[in-house]
């Protein structure tokens, strides 16, 4: 969400508006604000390994020719071909982004985030512990 807000503040065209400006057809409808970025768009961009210069094949599969539902192939069974085109982002940076995305630092309504957010689990049930705060606490 923070990246989407930053892109919108810097007046960067979203992918649909960019394609239309370049004369490329896009199945997405044109938005009223060409600089509005959807958070899901940013998430999909951050998760694509193709930006590291590799080609990824067999990302989805179907059980049979009658079952039309696409299912995700596990990452270890996907065919990855490295250095097939120039990389936009280095592999180390991509790996760091994936690590950060797995941790999920949730902010509370007050805007605070715990140092241990997404890292501490309940000893009894194994669920993630949440950081809770309130505007009414004294600041001592």
Contact indicator for 89, 98 with CB cutoff of 8 Å: no
pLDDT of residue 60: 93
Side-chain half-sphere CA neighbours of 111 within 13 A: 1
pLDDT at 129 over 90: no
Both tokens of residue 61?
A: 């599969």
pLDDT of residue 135: 67
pLDDT of residue 27: 87
pLDDT at 53 over 90: yes
pLDDT of residue 105: 63
pLDDT of residue 118: 67
Q: Which of 27, 120, 61 is nearest to 130 (CA)?
A: 120
Higher pLDDT, 54 or 110: 54
pLDDT at 73 over 90: yes
Q: Which of 108, 107, 105 is nearest to 135 (CA)?
A: 108
**R_g of the chain, CA atoms, integer Å:** 20
Q: What pTM did the predictor assign?
A: 0.63
Buried b (16+ CB within 10 A) or exposed e, 62-94: eeeeeeeeeeeeeeeeeeeeeeeeebeeeeeeb
pLDDT at 7 over 80: yes
| pLDDT, average across residues 16-31 | 89
Span 74-117, pLDDT tens digits: 999 999 999 999 998 899 999 998 888 876 666 666 666 666 76
* Crossing angle of the two packed helices 39-47 and 91-103, in degrees rounded to 10: 130
């Amino acid at each position: 969400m923070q990246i989407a807000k930053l892109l919108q503040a810097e007046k960067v065209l979203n992918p649909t508006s960019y394609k239309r400006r370049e004369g490329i057809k896009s199945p997405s409808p044109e938005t009223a604000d060409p600089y509005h970025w959807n958070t899901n768009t940013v998430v999909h961009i951050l998760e694509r390994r193709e930006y590291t210069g590799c080609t990824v094949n067999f990302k989805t599969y179907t059980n049979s020719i009658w079952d039309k539902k696409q299912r995700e192939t596990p990452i270890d069974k996907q065919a990855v071909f490295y250095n097939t085109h120039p990389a936009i982002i280095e592999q180390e940076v991509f790996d760091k982004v994936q690590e950060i995305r797995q941790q999920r630092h949730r902010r509370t309504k007050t805007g605070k985030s715990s140092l241990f957010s997404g890292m501490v689990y309940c000893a009894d049930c194994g669920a993630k512990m949440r950081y809770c705060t309130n505007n009414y606490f004294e600041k001592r």
